[in-house]
Amino acid sequence: MILNEPTYRLFRPDLEKPTREDFEVAARTLNKLPVAAIEPSDISAIVYLVSDAGRYVTGITHVVDVGGQL
């Protein structure tokens, strides 16, 4: 949802055509996680939520912290 040209321009207004790499450099300065953005496959909760066991889960907040100490 955030990997798109309008977001790249928000993070790098100084560049005419910022790239994902330009965005990642800027995003790392604002993010405590050791990555600029996580990929959907990085969220193991998705496996649970789409399983039969997770079919009744509604209205809950899942913490996504890349599995490390911040």
Q: Specify if 29 maps to a domain.
A: yes
Asked if residue 63 is part of any domain, the answer here is no
Q: What is the pLDDT of residues 55-68, one digit of tens each?
A: 888 887 777 666 65
Asked if residue 66 is part of any domain, the answer here is no
Of 2 and 23, the one with more pLDDT:
23
Residue 39 lies in a domain: yes
pLDDT greater than 70 at residue 34: no
Question: Is 62 within a domain?
Answer: no
Q: Is residue 61 part of a domain?
A: no
Is 59 within a domain? no
| Residue 6: DSSP 8-state | H
Report percent pLDDT > 90 for the chain: 29
**Domain-located, residue 24:** yes
Total domains, the chain: 1
Residues in the chain: 70
The per-residue pLDDT of the chain, averaged, comes to 80
Note down the domain range covering 28.
5-54
